[in-house]
Amino acid sequence: MTEALDVVEFLLTARVYDQHRELDENDLPPAHRSALWENDGVPRPPQATEEAVSEAAGVEDPWDAVSGLMFTDRDTFAGSMQLVDDDMAIDWFAERADAERIHDNPTLAFVMGEDFGVDYEAARADNRSVQADRKWIDGLLAEYFDEEDEEMLDLVEVRSPAEIDVTLDDIVLTEEQEEEMSKVAKAIEHRDYLATIGLSEIGKLLFVGPPGTGKTSTARGLAHQLDLPFVEVKLSMITSQYLGETAKNVEKVFEVAKRLSPCILFMDEFDFVATTRTGDEHNAIKRAVNTLLKSIDEVSLVNDDVLLIGATNHPDELDAAAWRRFDEILSFPRPDEAMRADILALVTRELDIAEFDPAAVAAQTEGLTGSDLRLVLREAVLDALVEDRRTLTQEDLMVAVEDFEDRDHLRNLDTLEDALEDGTTAEGHDHAHEH
């Protein structure tokens, strides 16, 4: 019966959407919108093909699910399905649906909300924006960048919320980080209020910490939690061979972010900005960096619905001009022993580990980051598989920790040898061992 309910909901949604021209794509549930999308939007009337119904409802054979209902029909030649009696379909659906289902479908909340105690405006506000859909994003990128702009793809990557595979629940955050994520969520929720009181200089964060401490994952997890598109700018790619176009492409990145709004604009390797401004780089690169800084000044969470997050592994390389562009600096330190135990418990939750004691492993992993701990786990799993085992032991993890530290030591020796060949001083010798 659930499959029939899902199919009828889709057919009703398509019918109501066609009948009420005051509704737009933001009234359609994301799955329905994606299935009905053609070229640059959802046409009227929407094309309820069997393929579209199957995609939206998640039903392999949608006609089989509703063929026994008197108010449905099928055009086998056109490969489509339709309702033949709207009133009968609405009555049948209303008897079986609940308030949660109606709230999750603003189109049906528009015509049936009162009967279920569901507010249409609230349902629409809670619905994922069309700007977060992959198909809408692809259309926008095609509009802004033609075949001659292919190098742009080296500079920016846009993910829809559905394409982000990490959530904040997958990350162990410090208390300060959790508080800041809550503040950001509230700022986005109440940005209209912030605008009315003139508080526009808000929503530019800088994540600071060593590699592997979760800066990028936290930014992506926040996008997933807030159901926002994630625009990632790879600043190191500014040095691409297309120097003459780089400044223009930087401007386009911000134009795209504003069109995708609300969204998160994430800029990694932000220390590249400062080193470029003080170095001997090509004038075209310096122009691109100056364009970037100017664009940062002009973008706003309150006015443009764009949350800007920068990240750097080398805060010591940032100059005052870079620091002052952020209203909040958030530290991502190497995890302490308690955090490492929490991370180990989190990343091993799908594994079978005999007599597992994450605290004991954490005590032997001082200085390791969350990324390092995941590599330790990877080695333990692979070593067990070599022995045809899928159940791990505490000893497997301890051995993996020791092996990881041995490999890390060799990596540092390689770094030291390279540094000595380059004539690095004794100060560089110490720095190599620190990392």
* The CATH fold of domain 134-331: Rossmann fold (3.40.50)
Strands 156-159 and 306-312: unpaired
Cis preceding-peptide flag for 106 (omega within 30 of 0): no
Q: What pTM was computed for the model?
A: 0.78
Domain ranges of the chain: 2-127, 134-331, 337-434
Q: What is the pLDDT of residue 198?
A: 83
> Taken in order 182, 306, 163, 267, is the CA torsion positive or negative?
negative
What kind of fold does domain 337-434 have according to CATH? Helicase, Ruva Protein; domain 3 (1.10.8)
Res 195: pLDDT: 86
Q: Is the dihedral of CA 417, 419, 424, 428 positive or negative?
A: negative
- Residue-level pLDDT at 277: 61
Would you state the structure tokens that stand for residue 394, as one six-digit string? Answer: 């505490």
pLDDT along the chain (435 residues), means of 10: 94 97 96 92 94 95 95 93 95 96 98 96 93 87 70 76 90 94 89 85 90 94 92 74 65 86 90 66 74 88 92 86 87 94 93 92 94 94 94 93 78 48 42 36
What is the β-pairing status of strands 306-312 and 263-268? Answer: parallel
Sign of CA dihedral 365, 371, 376, 381: positive
Cβ-contact 305, 262 below 8 angstroms: yes
Taken in order 166, 168, 173, 176, the sign of the CA dihedral is: positive
Say what the pLDDT of residue 325 is: 86
pLDDT on residue 17: 97
Pairing of strands 80-83, 72-75: antiparallel
Q: Is the peptide bond before 45 cis (omega within 30 degrees of 0)?
A: yes
DSSP output for 98-154: -HHHHHT-HHHHHHHHHHHT--HHHHHHHSPPGGGSHHHHHHHHHHH--GGGTTHHH
User: What is 28-48 written as a DSSP string?
Assistant: S-HHHHHHH-BTTB--SS---
Token pair for 282: 């090509």
Q: How far is CA 400 from CA 10, 98, 307, 395, 434, in A?
A: 51, 51, 39, 8, 21
Residues in the chain: 435
Half-sphere exposure of 77 (CA within 13 A, CB side): 0
Pairing of strands 156-159, 230-234: antiparallel
DSSP 3-state of 423: coil
The C-alpha atoms of residue 221 and residue 240 are separated, in whole angstroms, by 29
**pLDDT at 242 (0 to 100):** 52
Q: Which of 298, 332, 299, 300 is nearest to 315 (CA)?
A: 332
Amino acid letter at 374?
R
